[in-house]
Amino acid sequence: MTAKVETASIAVSIKAEGTLIPTTEQLLDELSKVVSEALNGTSYHALSKKTGVNVRTLYAIKNNELANPRIDTVLKILQALGKKLIIVDNW
């Protein structure tokens, strides 16, 4: 999964779990899937406690309603769930 973000003359690819994500929207879709999988058999409150991310934010991410999550939120979720995020600079 890799999302590509164009900032000035810098192109950044975000890579997680070895899968390339070409767009930011696809990165958010993957994050939604990660949260959905983590909620399988657990509650929002338990996941909130595990990740340090509030319940409303987790709900919004799961339902693809949070268009612009903070990077620290994304990292908290991935780290708590044993996932890795690698940023590759392609410029």
pLDDT tens column, 66-84: 878 888 898 899 899 888 7
Neighbour-count burial for 16-30, b at 16+ CB within 10 Å, e otherwise? beeeebeeeebbbeb
- Higher per-residue pLDDT: 27 or 20: 27
Q: At residue 72, what are phi and psi to the nearest 5 degrees? A: -65, -30
Placement of tokens 């319940």 in the chain:
55
Q: Which CATH class is domain 2-89?
A: mainly alpha
Q: At residue 90, what are phi and psi to the nearest 5 degrees? A: -110, 35
Look up the pTM and report it. Answer: 0.70
Q: Where are the domains of the chain?
A: 2-89
The pLDDT score that the predictor gives to residue 25 is 82
The pLDDT score that the predictor gives to residue 24 is 78
The pLDDT score that the predictor gives to residue 63 is 92
- Higher per-residue pLDDT: 30 or 6: 30
